[in-house]
Amino acid sequence: AGENAATDIAGKDGGTLTIDFATYNPLSLVIKEKGWLEATLASKGVTVTWVQSAGSNKANQALLAGAIDVGSTAGSAALLARSNGSPIKTISIYSQPEWAALVAAKGSAITSVADLKGKSVAATKGTDPYFFLVQALEAAGLSTDDVTVQNLQHADGRAALENGSVDAWAGLDPIMATAEQEGATLFYRNLDFNTYGFLNATESFLKDKPELAQSVVDVYEKARIWAAENPEETAQILATAAGLKPEVASTVILKRSNLNVSGIPGEKQRAVLAKIGPTFVELGDVKTQAEVDTALSSLLDDSLAVKANPASIKES
Amino acid sequence: MAVHSGAAASTATNASPKAGSAIFARSWTRLGLGLILPVLILLAWQLSTAAWVFSPVQLPSPRAVLDAGTELIGRNELFNHVAISTQRVLIGFLIGAVLGLSLGALVGLSKAADVLLGPTIGALRAVPSLAWVPLLILWMKIGEDSKVTLIVIGAFFPVFTTVSLALRHVDKNLVEAARAFGLKGLKLLTTVQLPAVVPAIFSGLRLALAQAWLFLVAAELIASSMGLGFLLTDSQNNGRTDRLLLAIVLLAILGKATDALLGLAEKWAVRRWS
Amino acid sequence: MAVHSGAAASTATNASPKAGSAIFARSWTRLGLGLILPVLILLAWQLSTAAWVFSPVQLPSPRAVLDAGTELIGRNELFNHVAISTQRVLIGFLIGAVLGLSLGALVGLSKAADVLLGPTIGALRAVPSLAWVPLLILWMKIGEDSKVTLIVIGAFFPVFTTVSLALRHVDKNLVEAARAFGLKGLKLLTTVQLPAVVPAIFSGLRLALAQAWLFLVAAELIASSMGLGFLLTDSQNNGRTDRLLLAIVLLAILGKATDALLGLAEKWAVRRWS
Amino acid sequence: MPALLSPSVATASALPDPQGTAAMAVSFQNLGRSFGTGHGAHTVLREVSFDVQAGEIVALLGPSGCGKSTLLRAVAGLDTPSTGAVTINGTAVSGIDSRCAVAFQEPRLLPWKSIAGNVAIGVPAGANAARTREVVERLVGLVGLSEFAGHRPREVSGGMAQRASLARALARNPGVLLLDEPFGALDALTRITMQDLLLDVHQAEPTTVLLVTHDVDEALQLADHIILLGPDGTGAPGATIVRTVEVPGPRPRDRASTALAGLRSSLLASLGVNGH
Amino acid sequence: MPALLSPSVATASALPDPQGTAAMAVSFQNLGRSFGTGHGAHTVLREVSFDVQAGEIVALLGPSGCGKSTLLRAVAGLDTPSTGAVTINGTAVSGIDSRCAVAFQEPRLLPWKSIAGNVAIGVPAGANAARTREVVERLVGLVGLSEFAGHRPREVSGGMAQRASLARALARNPGVLLLDEPFGALDALTRITMQDLLLDVHQAEPTTVLLVTHDVDEALQLADHIILLGPDGTGAPGATIVRTVEVPGPRPRDRASTALAGLRSSLLASLGVNGH
Ligand SMILES: Nc1ncnc2c1ncn2[C@@H]1O[C@H](COP(=O)(O)OP(=O)(O)OP(=O)(O)O)[C@@H](O)[C@H]1O
Ligand SMILES: Nc1ncnc2c1ncn2[C@@H]1O[C@H](COP(=O)(O)OP(=O)(O)OP(=O)(O)O)[C@@H](O)[C@H]1O
Ligand SMILES: [Mg+2]
Ligand SMILES: [Mg+2]
């Protein structure tokens, strides 16, 4: 026996919905925990399969292969994937998180972005913290050439920060929240430099099963409302799912996530993405700016989110 | 020269000629001695955390790791992680070993198969586990199949390589003798060639088992939410160093335990075929 | 019985008794035949993309992969990726092989060393490459050292396992004969035991080299911005499937090429010691 | 001492039953064999031609290294001659020939099989399990190893291993039996017992036997013809047939007969040993 | 035929130079050896006691599987007796004994070394390269393998390998020389040449020699004493000494002497062979 066995509720064959959950998407955890999707879709004979995404890149991989219908990523990751040809569209926004910031070790002399000149900074290329770093440097009149970027996975970046291998770290929650608890300082924060949490669906799914897609958007709407009303319980769900200490989970949910953001993908998101788009080309991750532009103009699809109806969702 | 008059009854009796190394033979002693080094490592670990050489997030104390384990047991999760991973590794290992043995025998004995398949297999051998992940997702989607397949790939190569190389060096005199008595093909393989490479087969199997555990981590990057490999990656992503170390220690223990079972099988096989 | 009258001069001459398999011996023919399968794979790949079985982002065509390569060459990056990775793998492989050979010999020949070290080494063997990353960063910082160390770890185990297991099965008659003539210790090892396990050493070395390439990917997760492992991970994260496949193909080619070199050394060694 | 044979073991009643292949004629046609190429080449056998009638026992004598084993290997198809050919019953040997059974100069037993298991390898494929067991049991008994049937080769003495190898070849009941010094490692009594066994087997089932030996007496006791290999004195490289001898009288022969004593001296003289 | 020995090869002028260890006395004290335990146990040797004086040549005769090789192995320290002990020059043998050199029943040459390289293993450690080369070259020549010095063991015949193994043992120039059927695979002429070589070596450097053989004539030619092993007729399991014979006359002995002929018959009778 393996895992990922589909929870076939009704037994009738109304098709399947394969959707991801991720610790960086608290709403997905709430929906899975509450069983709303299953309850709602059971009557239609739809089988729901939950698949965990370990990160935006994994979610994108699964979307590209058609292994999942709906997956959650950071906004930057969604743009990058679409720029490189992945047939995805963003159908909802699940949070405006402040998951990235610049972190210095306990007792470090670094207190501002300007102090970073000539220093080494750990970051994971192609992820939100890296784009955060690029924007922060730009805002302080510096560029990536003024610092040494050490490309490390998020967890390894913190380890490198703590043993002095690097001077600063472009951190990501929840590791960053843990580090903060241990005494590290977030010396530069900026909510606007974070891209949003994007809920993406494959084009074929949107085309073939528009009603199912609508249900997904509806359930996210319901979860958003519920989470805003029950922040403590949401933190608890996150803590359990991600194995986080309750304090850390609370920090992430209460202090650094705006779950009460509008679910309709729109101008705000487009503005942030427009800023980081050129970085893709600079890094060589996307071939031309034209591809980025095309992707940005076609990525966001608000048609479902505008008619989101949380009331259509059944409690289990 | 003089023959001793009247050979007396035996006096000096040394019944066990190899008494010197007998101390290492008793299995409990063996186990105890084998634990010395792990215990020393544990001690060094405990001391280095107690002396704050490393901070608790860098390197949590053994105690903290144990607590993380108890917590997961309390949540009824640890057993599932262990069970699903063990299942994946064992199934993958079995399939991979059988494939490795068959193809290894083919390539080791048939010049034609070697020339045709050798280069391709040699090239595939260097494809990293992580690189297989996107390809497997593409071809097999994200179910249990793709995870087990990745482990099969990992287990295949050590068996294939050791068996195919060893078969080329089987004592030519014995093979010739057997062929002179009309043995050929499968019969020759099972009567002479495979028994002659039993030690090599087992070193291949032990490496394959180890590699199966290594590939497990990559396999559990394929959309899983259970298993020790998942626990490892997930804890790393979430900064839970204590759970990370727990996963490492469990993988090491399970790796060693399954290896020890294979070691028993090896002992039996070597006694049987040498 | 009758002896033929007057033995005539030789007539029927078959100078090369094994003419049948000679076709596989000529190295160009060998190479050509070895390329059949890769070419078929390439063809299947080309056809499956041309027939839109997979979309170009899912599986880019061989052409697109080639283009990605040309682009990277144009940016003057590809050569660096290849060079630094090859350097890391070779250094790590060399150190790991030497360590594996030494410790393998120790554990294979000394019962005491086996009992004391065996279990610990067996346990460490199952620790996945990815799990070493945080530990190495903790102990060795993020320089070149930690990357090479990880590759050393990868290369160590196959050599260690095959050599230590093979040494236990060296022909007892030969060892006894040599010991009867006063050979012992290092002299016995180099005169009898190592030559007797040359085939096993080479299967260990070939697996070690393959594993060195596998561990490269994990090693290049440690603060690198160059190398094929980096290219692989980076492309995977960015969804650049063309570059991802380029990295895989390059790793396979390099893996096979270095393996072929080792194969040449093996041929020489086997001729020398068998 | 269970390993010792009582001289009564090899009685005709215990012989293999006569179900084997019919004896076959062997013919050597201008056989030659060289090893190595170019500078390092050396010729071992040269222009060896003779015919062995079906059912004959032929002994091969010759100095160490002259190519006796090489000759046997050519008959079995284990070695390809450089020139000339060997034919069995008129068809040329090419590749391993299933019409032959070989007892090699060294025992070549599979270390992981018991003595009985090794002898069983000699039983022709196609025999059912019961029959195989029966043949093996009888032959292991005939060579005096019943008590050691379950032992592994490394647990028996050199002479015992050699007898096991002989039993394996006999189990085949072949058209041509090739024996390369089959009694070399045996003491005087066991040797005589084994020689008698061979003769009994041959009488019950007159197969063709090619026997390499260093013991002139043995050749005189067992063979219909003796072939002496060696350099022919012309200075040409390699050994060839320097003498052939037809041994008079039916078997078993009187070991003390004067006719044989004369032949013995003459053969030893041909081998270079004088005055003993 | 380069492999063939001309009888003149083993002249005294070409002998190893006398630099070896002095000959040593060997004493067997109530030696016994059983294999296996419990039910499967069987006794091979029982209550073997005798003394060999330094410089003596002692031949061991006995039926196949009676424990001759086992006895030699006990002297070399390769096997540990179940009861009793072997002493060399008064000190007990325990573990491999560097005072001995062995020529095993099988050649046991290292397949990856040339004939010369294998013989070199016999040269005692500590000899410098030039001296090693000199010793090896001389001994390889003495056993008639000069032309094959560079060949690998698998490229030489059975008898040639046996001679290489003999040369390796001789190269050691040991206190006790243990030879397990060293001439078993040799033709009559080569055998005599090698026997003469052994005697020449022994004369130049009178080491103690324990020689296992199946050839009664050989024992009579070479040995000061002959020891016959076998079951003693009491029904007790295992072989022991059933007879010891002092061979009269100085070496080389006349192979046709009547005294030896009488001894020969008597020894053969003891071995169970009558009337030949
Ligand atoms: N390792 C072993 N295990 C069990 N039995 C053994 C072992 N080694 C030897 N034997 C037994 O010891 C006996 C004597 O063997 P040994 O080799 O000494 O005989 P031998 O007198 O040299 O015979 P041969 O003349 O045939 O060489 C045999 O019966 C053999 O089965
Ligand atoms: N593979 C080989 N390569 C080179 N030379 C070889 C090879 N096999 C055999 N020879 C040579 O062939 C010659 C004859 O060998 P063969 O084994 O036939 O001799 P033999 O007559 O059986 O001798 P013996 O009585 O010593 O067994 C030897 O000189 C040997 O060196
Ligand atoms: Mg021969
Ligand atoms: Mg013996």
Order of strands across the sheet that contains E176-180: E100-103, E176-180, E208-212, E57-61, E225-230, E240-246
| pLDDT, position E34 | 92
DSSP H helical ranges for D172-257: 188-204, 216-222
Q: How far is A306 from chain B (nearest CA, A)?
A: 31
**What H or E segment, with its residue span, contains residue D29?**
strand D26-35
| pLDDT, position D8 | 40
| pLDDT, position A282 | 80
Most confident option among A59-63, A67-71, B135-139: A67-71
| pLDDT, position C271 | 83
Order of strands across the sheet that contains D176-180: D100-103, D176-180, D208-212, D57-61, D225-230, D240-246
* B121 and B136 share one domain: yes
Domains of chain D: residue spans and CATH: 17-35+43-99+176-276 (3.40.50.300), 106-173 (no CATH)
CA distances from B128 to B46, C66, C229 (A): 35, 20, 9
Q: Which residue has the higher pLDDT, E38 or B260?
A: B260
pLDDT exceeds cutoff 90 at E180: yes
Tell me the CA–centroid distance for residue D186 and ligand 4, in Å. 9
Q: For the domain that residue B265 is a member of, what is the CATH number?
A: 1.10.3720.10
* B38 and B88 share one domain: no
pLDDT exceeds cutoff 80 at C223: no
Q: Count Cα neighbours of B48 within 13 Å in the Cβ-side half-sphere.
A: 16
Take residue B56 and report the two structure tokens written for it: 């608790």
Contacts of residue E173, defined as CB under 8 A and 6 or more positions apart, other chains included, come to: E16, E19, E20, E21, E101, E124, E205, E207
Domain end point (choices B13, B33, B53): B53
* C231 and C135 share one domain: yes
| pLDDT, position C201 | 92
At residue B226, the 3 state secondary structure works out as coil
DSSP B149-198: HHHHHHHHHHHHHHHHHHHTTS-HHHHHHHHHTT--HHHHIIIIIHHHTH
| pLDDT, position D69 | 93
* B46 and B95 share one domain: no
| pLDDT, position E275 | 58
* B77 and B36 share one domain: no
Closest atom, ligand 2, to C-alpha of D62: 21
CA distances from D79 to A291, B185, D39, D58, D95 (A): 70, 20, 22, 20, 8
* Structural domains counted in chain C: 2
> Which residue, judged by its Cα, is nearest atom 31 of ligand 1?
D156
Is the distance from CB of A76 to CB of A131 less than 8 angstroms?
yes
| pLDDT, position C75 | 78
Ligand that comes closest to the CA of residue E36 = 1
* C25 and C152 share one domain: no
Question: CB within 5 A of ion ligand 4: which residues?
Answer: D 157-158; E 69, 105
| Dihedral angle sign, alpha carbons of residues A199, A204, A207, A213 | negative
Q: Which residue has the higher pLDDT, A9 or D62?
A: D62
Chain A interface includes C224 (CB < 8 A): yes
Q: What pLDDT band is residue E179 in, cutting at 50, 70 and 90? A: very high
Q: What is the DSSP letter of A65?
A: T
Q: Which residue has the higher pLDDT, D61 or C27?
A: D61
Beta-bridged to residue E101, according to DSSP, are E177
Number of helical H runs and strand E runs in chain D: 7, 10
Average pLDDT over residues A48-61: 83
Domain end point (choices C16, C37, C53): C53
Order of strands across the sheet that contains A100-104: A148-151, A120-123, A168-172, A100-104, A185-188
What is the value of pTM for the model shown? Answer: 0.86
| Inter-chain touch C199–B166, beta carbons under 8 Å | yes
| pLDDT, position B5 | 41
| pLDDT, position A242 | 80
Average pLDDT over residues B84-103: 94
Rounded Cα distance between B154 and B129, Å, is: 7
Contacts of residue B214, defined as CB under 8 A and 6 or more positions apart, other chains included, come to: B129, B154, C126, C128, C129
**Model confidence pLDDT, tens digit, residues B15-62:** 344 444 555 556 777 778 878 888 888 888 888 877 777 777 677 888
Q: Using CB atoms, pick whichever of D56, D85, D240 lies closest to residue C1.
A: D56
CA angle B137, B143, B144 (to 5 degrees): 115
Q: What pLDDT band is residue E13 in, cutting at 50, 70 and 90? A: very low
Is the distance from CB of C150 to CB of C133 less than 8 angstroms?
yes
pLDDT exceeds cutoff 60 at D6: no
* B156 and B37 share one domain: no
Closest CA to D52 of D29, D80, D76, D34: D29
pLDDT exceeds cutoff 90 at E167: yes
Q: Which residue has the higher pLDDT, E9 or A74?
A: A74
> Which residue, judged by its Cα, is nearest atom 29 of ligand 2?
D65
CA distances from B236 to A55, B45, B58 (A): 12, 20, 12
First-residue to last-residue Cα distance in chain E:
35
Rg (CA), chain A: 20
| pLDDT, position D4 | 44
| pLDDT, position A14 | 66
| pLDDT, position A3 | 63
Residue of D61, D66, D78, D180 best suited for mutating to test ligand 2, as the one with most atoms within 8 Å of CB: D66
| pLDDT, position A303 | 87
* C181 and C150 share one domain: yes
Strands E100-103 and E176-180: parallel
* B99 and B10 share one domain: no
Average pLDDT over residues C90-97: 96
Tell me the CA–centroid distance for residue A297 and ligand 3, in Å. 87
Above pLDDT 70, what percent of chain B?
A: 89
Is the distance from CB of A243 to CB of B235 less than 8 angstroms?
yes
Closest CA to D56 of D184, D211, D173, D232: D211
* Binding site membership of E238 for ligand 1 (Cβ less than 6 Å): no
**Model confidence pLDDT, tens digit, residues E115-161:** 999 999 999 888 889 999 999 999 999 999 999 999 999 999 999 99
At residue D47, the 3 state secondary structure works out as strand
HEC string of chain E equals: CCCCCCCCCCCHHHCCCCCCCCCCCEEEEEEEEEECCHHHCEEEEEEEEEEECCCCEEEEECCCCCCHHHHHHHHHCCCCCCEEEEEECCEECCCCCCCEEEECCCCCCCCCCCHHHHHHHHCCCCCCHHHHHHHHHHHHHHCCCHHHCCCCHHHCCHHHHHHHHHHHHHHCCCCEEEEECCCCCCCHHHHHHHHHHHHHHHHHCCCEEEEECCCHHHHHHHCCEEEEEECCCCCCCCEEEEEEEECCCCCCCCCCCHHHHHHHHHHHHHCCCCCC
Average pLDDT over residues A42-64: 84
Answer left, alpha or beta for residue C247, where phi above 0 means left and psi between -120 and 50 means alpha: alpha
Take residue A293 and report the two structure tokens written for it: 């532009």
pLDDT exceeds cutoff 50 at A10: no
Take residue C168 and report the two structure tokens written for it: 């236990």
**Model confidence pLDDT, tens digit, residues A211-227:** 889 989 999 999 999 98
* Binding site membership of E67 for ligand 1 (Cβ less than 6 Å): yes
Question: Percentages helix, strand, coil for chain D, rounded to the nearest 5?
Answer: 35, 20, 45
Average pLDDT over residues D31-53: 87
| pLDDT, position B26 | 67
Average pLDDT over residues C206-235: 86
Q: With b meaning 16 or more CB within 10 Å and e meaning fewer, what string describes C227-243?
A: bbbbbbbbbbbbbbbbb
Q: Mean of the per-residue pLDDT values for chain A?
A: 84
Q: Using CB atoms, pick whichever of A64, A149, A164 lies closest to residue C58.
A: A64
**Model confidence pLDDT, tens digit, residues C188-201:** 999 999 999 998 99
**Model confidence pLDDT, tens digit, residues D215-271:** 998 999 899 999 999 888 787 888 999 999 999 888 888 877 888 888 988 898 888
Q: What pLDDT band is residue D20 in, cutting at 50, 70 and 90? A: low
Comparing alpha-carbon positions, the chain C residue that sits nearest to A61 is C239
Rounded Cα distance between A74 and A79, Å, is: 9
Q: Which residue has the higher pLDDT, B142 or A209?
A: A209
Most confident option among B149-153, C62-66, E202-206: B149-153
Rounded Cα distance between D123 and D209, Å, is: 18
**ipTM strictly over 0.90?**
no
Average pLDDT over residues E50-58: 92
| pLDDT, position A145 | 85
DSSP H helical ranges for chain B: 27-50, 62-74, 78-109, 111-125, 129-140, 144-167, 172-180, 185-188, 194-196, 198-219, 228-238, 241-272
* B177 and B213 share one domain: yes
Domain end point (choices C16, C38, C53): C53
| pLDDT, position C26 | 66
pLDDT exceeds cutoff 90 at D140: yes
Chain E interface includes C181 (CB < 8 A): yes
Q: Which residue has the higher pLDDT, C134 or D173?
A: D173
Chains touching A, CB cut-off 8 Å, 3+ pairs: B, C
Q: Which of A4, A24, A49 to mutate to test the interface with B (most CBs of B within 10 A)?
A: A4
Average pLDDT over residues D69-88: 92
Would you tell me how many other CB atoms lie within 10 Å of the CB of residue C21? 9
pLDDT exceeds cutoff 90 at C149: yes
| pLDDT, position E20 | 55
Q: Mean of the per-residue pLDDT values for chain E?
A: 86
Print the domain residue range for C27: 1-53
Is the distance from CB of E158 to CB of E169 less than 8 angstroms?
no
Average pLDDT over residues B63-72: 86
Q: With b meaning 16 or more CB within 10 Å and e meaning fewer, what string describes A228-263?
A: eeebeebbbbbbebbbbbeebbbbbbeebbebebeb
* B32 and B102 share one domain: no
Strands E57-61 and E100-103: unpaired
Residue type, C215: F
| pLDDT, position C8 | 39
| pLDDT, position A13 | 57
| Inter-chain touch C192–E106, beta carbons under 8 Å | no
* Binding site membership of D207 for ligand 2 (Cβ less than 6 Å): no
Chain D interface includes C9 (CB < 8 A): yes
**Model confidence pLDDT, tens digit, residues C67-79:** 888 888 887 788 8
* C136 and C237 share one domain: yes
pLDDT exceeds cutoff 70 at E227: yes
